Structure 1
Amino acid sequence: MANHEDLSGVFLALSDPTRREVIRILGAGPASVGELAQSFAMTLPSFMKHVHTLEGNGLIRSVKHGRVRTCSLDRDRLAVVGDWLDTQYRIWDARADRLDESAAEQEEV
């Protein structure tokens, strides 16, 4: 499981709807920054801040070929969220089971 700082960075990056939409778009495959930016009503410098946040937290990677920067999703890094959610689900599922058992015991009394 990722450490708390890694997880916090990923959640910080995903806290913004623009960045979540970039992740969704990149889920279909790599895209250039220009292609990604067309989906948003903001200036390119403003959009690049979102790209840098996603890249800085390891959710996307970008490579530059000439004047074109192409971004791709790092699915392994995104899996950190899935791992954390799976752990939370198991914890809460176990608590719900104990609550059900306790309620059943109360009904028997």
Structure 2
Amino acid sequence: MIKELVDLSATKDGSDGLDRAFLALADPVRRAIIARLSRGPATVNELAEPFTITKQAVSQHIQVLEKAGLITRTREGQKRPCHLDAAALEALTSWIDQYRLATERRYRNLDGLLTQMQTEEP
């Protein structure tokens, strides 16, 4: 399953980045890693602590998150901490918001129509 996410091919409309990000976030372990990184950088060992899976499995999850553009890794001496890429999360939020705002607008229109219908009834 992890290999499938890493080997995604580009889609026709160029949304492969979104696809990779959402597929990466579909896994609860990767969502937990993202949640942990939202509090600050962490090494693979630190990220692996709360899980009952191997460090190798955590490393594979980190690779998926890296390929999805959601996290980055730096080198600090012998440590390679992972960092959350806030800009990537903001791009996902923006994509979701465009649909949320359109849906909210439709509901407001529906509410207005229902209110108008109620006031017109004798």
TM range (shorter): 0.7 to 0.9
Deviation (angstroms), 1:44: 1.4
Q: Does 1:101 align with 2:112?
A: yes
**Residues 33 and 68, structure 1, Cα contact 8 Å, conserved in 2:** no
Match of 2:80 among 52, 66, 69: 69
Aligned length: 107
Which shifted more, 52-61 or 30-39?
A: 30-39
Deviations 1:29-50 (A, max 9, x none): 1111111111211111111110
Alignment correspondent of 2:62:
51
After the TM superposition, which residues 4-19 of structure 1 pair with which residues of structure 2 at under 5 Å, given as runs?
Answer: 4-19=15-30
Distance in 2 (CA, whole Å) between partners of 1:64 and 1:40 is 24
Per the normalisation by structure 2, the TM-score is 0.78
Alignment correspondent of 2:31:
20
Distance in 2 (CA, whole Å) between partners of 1:62 and 1:4 is 24
Which shifted more, 60-69 or 16-25?
A: 60-69
Which residues of structure 1 form unaligned runs of 5+? none
Q: Does 1:41 align with 2:52?
A: yes
Which of structures 1 and 2 has the larger relative contact order (alpha carbons within 8 angstroms, sep 6+)?
Answer: 1
Per the normalisation by structure 1, the TM-score is 0.87
After the TM superposition, which residues 68-87 of structure 1 pair with which residues of structure 2 at under 5 Å, given as runs?
Answer: 68-87=79-98
Deviations 1:39-67 (A, max 9, x none): 21111111111000000001000124454
Identity of aligned residues (%): 36
Higher strand share: 1
Deviation (angstroms), 1:72: 0.5
Which residues of structure 2 form unaligned runs of 5+? 1-13
